[in-house]
């Protein structure tokens, strides 16, 4: 079976012929491929015209073409996903949209993105996505399960059952009760001396059925990852832990019955999760790269959430820090003392709805992405950041494109207004407002500003724009290190 693997860029417009060429399909094959990817929400179609070809973002106003129109060839196709997708023997490696110059294979950049996705998934405490889609589109996510097994092995090792062994004069813990009850003592000066001590130690059972089964599955999963040519991308070394195959452990029903019985006596939470995943893997009996309609994925359709999370951590977000724990050059102001257990998010006022005979406060309110408070030369700086996952075009002689809408701009001003009382109460003289956008470059770019004159007239800070090397932020995020905000030159 021939494996066809290709990189595509998120949000880039591709024609049907592009997809046919890149993934070696005939006409019927590519139509099935497109329909399958669309059913899982990782591919969208838009009208085929010159304006769409120039765009690097898929906006809400772009109207998706219906399936029957999409098959006519009068549309363009857009991947709304970042990560790895397998569809039969086709492997789609979708890299982020800001990597505009990477027409070849962006292996190093993609390896870093994969590590970011892995850490992001763990920080959000996401469970294993064993299945993709629902209903008729439900598909076993073999790639995610394989990666779970391999990552779990590197963190915890092989599934191991232990046995307690009692020895005489061994090096384990002395069993004084058994020694006194069953041992022979010599008495000297009214003190007993035992010549033989019963001891107990715990040993691993190397021939345990489930240890061997786990090793077999790990070896099989590693082989599948290598065959899919994804081992390098995920930085996984080949594992050859055993020469046994699944058939050596009995038929499928027998293996599942053994796992079910083991679950009933296993109370360790991690081992339970591992056993349940092994059960699913065995019961589905599916391998990667099989020629069927199944889709397997590792990544996200909401990479903007990943960018926001990375920016929030790297720029030391204080939005959910209690007021009493904020580090400022002055103590918490008297008027906020009774709210010192609240955080910066919850001191923003909520809409109040007043009727003729009622007064109600709404639940929702403004929610900034990132608030940072830092000290410089003894003064406090109040910084309002908004992580914007956009490819902004703001150059002389070119049309404005890839920019946040007026609603995003307005909200950014309102965030400052929402914190005005807090800022004044603590005599904070410097407030900065900034959009943070990714770039594939190596230097931070002072892109410019965006302003609304009607709000600037209220004395509010206009919004600066900084394009930040995504690789730089990812390095900090993966190392759990903060970035010096001074580098932004706000």
DSSP string, 447-476: EEEE--HHHHTTTPPPEEEEEEEHHHHHHH
134-148 pLDDT per residue, tens:
555 667 888 989 999
Give residue 435's pLDDT. 97
What's the average model confidence in pLDDT over 168-182?
Answer: 77
pLDDT of 18 reads 93
Model pLDDT, residue 60: 46
Distance (Å) of CA 372 to CA 317, 377, 483: 5, 16, 12
pLDDT given for residue 274 in this prediction: 93
Contact status, residue 46 vs residue 76, Cβ threshold 8 Å:
yes
Report the chain's mean pLDDT, rounded to a whole number: 87
Of the ranges 67-71, 166-170, 211-215, the best mean pLDDT one: 211-215
Q: pLDDT value at position 64?
A: 54
Give the whole-angstrom CA distance, residue 256 versus residue 263.
Answer: 11
Do residues 85 and 113 share a domain? yes
**Boundaries of domain holding 58:** 4-157+209-300
Pairing of strands 131-132, 162-168: unpaired
Separation in Å, CA 347 to CA 167, 319, 409: 65, 10, 21
* Confidence check: pLDDT of 51 > 80: no
pLDDT given for residue 292 in this prediction: 62
Domain boundary among 270, 285, 300: 300
On whether residue 29 sits in a domain, the answer given is yes
Structure tokens at 411: 């909200």
The last residue of a domain, from among 265, 300, 335: 300
Please report whether residue 164 resides in a domain: no
What is the pLDDT, as a whole number, of residue 83?
A: 95
Angle separating helix axes 142-156 and 209-227, nearest 10 degrees: 120
Q: How confident is the model at residue 276 (pLDDT cuts 50, 70, 90)?
A: very high
**Residue 128 domain flag:** yes
* pLDDT value of position 474: 97
- 13 and 151: one domain? yes
The pLDDT-based confidence of 150 (bands split at 50, 70, 90) is very high
The pLDDT of residue 104 is 72
Same domain, 289 and 376: no
| Pair (360, 237) in one structural domain | no
Flag whether pLDDT at 342 surpasses 50: yes
- Is residue 198 over pLDDT 90? no
Residue 239 lies in a domain: yes
Q: State which of 242, 273, 300 marks the end of a domain.
A: 300
Same domain for 27 and 9: yes
Q: Which pLDDT tens digit goes with each residue over 83-136?
A: 999 988 899 999 999 999 866 789 999 999 999 999 998 876 554 566 666 555
Is 162 among the domain residues? no
Q: What is the reported pLDDT for 122? A: 80
Alpha-carbon gap, residue 460 to 142, rounded angstroms: 52
Average pLDDT of span 242-271: 91
SS3 136: helix
The predicted pLDDT at position 135 comes to 58
pLDDT at site 196 = 82
Mean pLDDT of 67-80: 69
Q: Which of the four pLDDT bands, split at 50, 70 and 90, describes residue 191?
A: confident
Give the pLDDT score at 284: 86
Q: Are residues 246 and 146 in the same domain?
A: yes
Residues 98 and 217 in one domain: yes
Domain count, the chain: 3
pLDDT digits (tens, 9 = 90+) for 379-394: 899 999 999 999 999 9
pLDDT in tens, 357-374: 899 988 888 999 999 999
- Buried b / exposed e along 229-253 (16+ C-beta atoms within 10 A): ebbebbebeebebbeeebeebeeee
Domain-located, residue 163: no
User: Do 362 and 294 lie in a common domain?
Assistant: no
Do 322 and 464 fall into the same domain?
Answer: yes
Do 71 and 216 belong together in one domain? yes
How confident is the model at residue 189, as a pLDDT?
A: 79
- Same domain as 55, residue 174: no
Residue 396 inside a domain? The answer is yes
Residue 383 sits in the same domain as residue 473: yes
Residue 482: name the closest of 379, 413, 383, 388 by CA.
Answer: 383
């Amino acid at each position: 079976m021939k494996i066809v693997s290709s990189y595509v860029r998120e949000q880039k417009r591709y024609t049907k012929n592009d997809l046919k060429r890149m993934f070696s399909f005939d006409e019927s094959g590519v139509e099935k491929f497109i329909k399958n990817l669309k059913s899982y929400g990782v591919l969208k179609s838009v009208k085929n015209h010159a304006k769409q070809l120039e765009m690097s973002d898929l906006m809400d106003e772009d109207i998706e073409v219906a399936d029957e129109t999409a098959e006519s060839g009068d549309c363009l196709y857009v991947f709304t996903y970042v990560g790895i997708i397998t569809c039969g023997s086709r492997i789609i490696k979708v890299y982020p949209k800001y990597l505009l110059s990477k027409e070849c294979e962006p292996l190093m950049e993609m390896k870093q993105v994969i590590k970011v996705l892995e850490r992001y998934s763990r920080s959000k405490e996401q469970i294993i996505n064993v299945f993709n889609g629902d209903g008729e589109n439900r598909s076993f996510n073999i790639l995610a399960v394989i990666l779970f097994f391999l990552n779990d092995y590197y963190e915890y090792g092989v599934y191991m059952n232990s046995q307690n062994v009692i020895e005489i004069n061994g090096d384990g813990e002395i069993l004084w009760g058994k020694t006194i009850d069953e041992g022979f003592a010599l008495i000297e000066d009214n003190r007993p001396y035992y010549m033989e001590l019963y001891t107990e130690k715990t040993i691993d059972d190397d021939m345990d059925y489930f240890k061997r089964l786990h090793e077999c599955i790990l070896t099989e999963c590693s082989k599948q990852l290598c065959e899919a040519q994804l081992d390098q991308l995920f930085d996984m070394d080949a594992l050859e832990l055993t020469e046994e195959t699944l058939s050596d452990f009995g038929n499928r029903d027998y293996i599942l019955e053994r796992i079910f019985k083991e679950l009933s006596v296993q109370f360790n939470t991690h081992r339970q999760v591992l056993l349940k995943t092994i059960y699913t893997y065995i019961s589905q009996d599916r391998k990667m790269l099989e020629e069927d309609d199944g889709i397997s994925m590792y990544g996200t359709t909401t990479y903007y959430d990943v960018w926001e999370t990375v920016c929030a951590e790297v720029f030391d977000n204080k939005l959910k820090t209690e007021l009493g724990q904020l580090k400022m050059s002055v103590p918490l102001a008297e008027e906020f003392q009774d709210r010192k257990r609240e955080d910066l998010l919850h001191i923003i006022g909520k809409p109040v709805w007043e009727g003729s005979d009622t007064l109600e406060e709404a639940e929702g309110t403004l929610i900034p992405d990132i608030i940072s408070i830092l000290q410089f030369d003894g003064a406090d700086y109040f910084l309002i950041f908004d992580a914007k996952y956009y490819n902004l075009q703001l150059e002389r002689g070119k049309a404005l494109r890839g920019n946040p809408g007026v609603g995003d701009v307005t909200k950014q001003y309102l965030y400052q207004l929402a914190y005005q009382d807090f800022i004044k109460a603590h005599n904070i003289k410097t407030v900065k407002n900034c959009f943070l956008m990714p770039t594939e470059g190596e230097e931070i770019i002072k892109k410019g500003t965006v302003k609304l004159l009607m709000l600037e007239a209220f004395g509010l800070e206009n919004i600066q724009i900084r394009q930040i090397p995504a690789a730089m932020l990812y390095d900090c995020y993966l190392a759990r290190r903060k970035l010096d905000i001074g580098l932004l030159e706000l």
